[in-house]
Structure 1
Amino acid sequence: QITLQSKNTESEQLIKKRLKEIEGEVKHIEEVQEKLGKVFYETALSEEEKTIGFGDYVKLIDGTAVGKVVDVKGSKVIVDFNGIKLEVKPEKLKRVATQTVVTSGSSQSKTEITNEKRIPTKVYSSPLTKNEIDVRGMTVEEAVEKIDEFIDQLLMSDFTTGYIIHGKGTGKLATGIWSYLRHDKRIKNYRFGRPDEGGVGVTVIEI
């Protein structure tokens, strides 16, 4: 009987040891997945920085007028130049950090809108009750529009952190969102969620 108890004790110890090893392996795998995901998105973002995309302010390489990219159609982008929309090849455009708008009354009078942290002007009918938004299944354009409103509401609430649930998928949606966040001066910091927050399927923002 003593021998049997001894064997049972040894078996339990081996099981506990193996479970501990498995927990360590799982944690290691999660850390590797998070690092790989971060590398993937940062690489994608680096490549995206070289291209003209939705929401970018641009100007013609040989011109001075500044417009905003409002759509992407195949190998061309649609740029809104103060109400006039033109279909242009990206290689003929240059990304700019600010938007210059011709004001009414004088073609020489211009107002420069910088990327400084702005104060929300839209009035929302109900206060923000939770600091997360789910944009899974949306296009980048749809998600960015919703996220923009979400950030406005965060600024007017007591929340300083927000969670954007975009899922993993192909990474296209997350890449587009990160590109948008990178240029939004309202955002102090952004990162992927930790394993307990949803991992690379969630982006955590701080305002």
Structure 2
Amino acid sequence: MAKSTRNMQPGFKKYILEDSTYKGGGKKIVMPDGVTVHKLSSNENPLGYSPKVKEALANTLDDLSLYPDNTDIRLREALVKDFDGVLTVDNFITANSGSEIIDMISKAFLNEDDEVIVSQPCFLPYTAFTRWMGAKAINVPMTEDYDYNLDGILEAINDRTKLIFLASPNNPSGNYIPLTDLRNFIDKLPDHVVLVLDEVYRHFA
């Protein structure tokens, strides 16, 4: 008789077994007639894709049976241009999504019992990946206007603090961190703390 897999736990870390699966954005928002809402929570473009994308895809159809370039060098070179040459190709690492980058950062820096500072409301993977590494997310609440309490974050730092997640513009509130405030904050960070500045929505600012 086959055993149920529900009771089989072959060495999984307990904080992975206890956690739930990440669920993306829900269904389309239904609004009354005459009211239009553009839902951006799943990074979906309500305007559709560019005709240039369609053309580029069509131009690759004859090569679908061949392996593509297995490096990300063309993307990193394009990013250098996007940042006006201030950065080099060695300053970039790419992945399948922002969430995967956050996962990679968490795996690279976090051990059990480390601490990560977040400010709720925040992007769910900040806390989810922290838990999956056995680390602890410390919440420094935002202000009533949904701005970061940067002084409060600095006060929350201790010897166990490894990462701080800041998003500018923030997801989901949309607030951004003024450049002067951000520079002053960075200048006060101790050397053992890594700041993760998430600017995935910067093109909307």
Flag whether TM exceeds 0.5 (same fold): no
Larger Rg: 1
Structure number with the higher helix fraction is 1
TM-score, normalised to structure 1, is 0.28
